[in-house]
Amino acid sequence: MGRKALVTRERITAAFAELRARGEEPTQRKVLAITGGGGAEVLKLYNEVRAEEQTKADTAKMSRAAAAAAEVAKLARSLYERAEAEDKAAAQATLDDIANLNDEIQAEAAAAREEAAAAKAEVAKVTAERAADKERESAAVAAAMDRMVEAERRAAAIEVKVGQMEIRAITAEQQVAELAAQLAAARAATKAK
């Protein structure tokens, strides 16, 4: 195809699919080789398709984080209900479950921070290739910076969620202590009778 062929988003998406079907990672040059057309237009559409794929991946990660947060909330409710009927040891086991879930959320936050570091490394790599392809480099640096900013934003959002989970865990611990004190008082009152 000539350099002036009409390039559409659908053709870019089809090129991504074709490359992946061959077991290859889509790059700007490989996509351009398949679609033809002007480099600037292919680059623009390539970045849009990449950004859409990243958004879908980010949405899936946030869904997993939301599910983990819902599980923590469910465990916190369970803690309150069980504390009335069980002794302090059973309530402590639930707190341990909350702590484990909190650890998982912190691990996810660490993974998001690692993604941000990987994006920074990618920016450095793209910058080092400046002499090879000036037009491609400017767009790649911008895309990498966007991914880095987005990864840092997600890491910060997850950090906020971790803080919220820690506050919930502290509140749950206080509720357990209060219920344990009430239980002890009730037992003492029963023994006194």
Residue 127 has pLDDT above 70, yes or no: no
Going from N- to C-terminal start, the domains of the chain cover 54-192
The helix-helix angle for 134-192 and 88-128 (nearest 10°) equals 170
Taking only the tens place, the pLDDT of each residue in 80-117 is 788 677 777 766 887 788 888 889 988 987 887 888 78
Q: What is the pTM of this model?
A: 0.34
User: Any residues with CB less than 8 A from the CB of 150 and at least 6 apart, and which?
Assistant: 54, 58
Confidence of residue 3 (pLDDT cuts 50, 70, 90): very low
The rounded distance, in Å, linking the Cα atoms of 67 and 170 is 21
Nearest Cα neighbor of 151 from 61, 70, 68, 65 is 61
pLDDT at position 164: 95
User: How would residue 52 be classed by pLDDT, with cut points 50, 70 and 90?
Assistant: very high
Q: In sequence order, which residues have a C-beta less than 8 Å from that of residue 30 and are 6 or more positions away? A: 15, 19, 24
Question: Model confidence over 92-101: pLDDT tens digits?
Answer: 887 788 888 8
Structure tokens given for 135: 């037009």
Provide the token pair at 185: 């008082």
- At 61-77, the pLDDT tens digits run 999 988 888 888 888 78
Residue 59 belongs to what H/E stretch? helix 39-85
Residues with Cβ within 8 Å of residue 94, at least 6 apart in sequence: 75, 78, 79, 82, 172
Q: Which tens digits make up the pLDDT trace of 153-176? A: 999 999 999 999 999 999 999 999
CB atoms near residue 128 (< 10 Å): 10
pLDDT of 60 higher than 70: yes
Q: Which amino acid is at 31?
A: V
Cα–Cα distance list, 155 to 52, 100, 107, 123 (Å):
19, 19, 11, 18
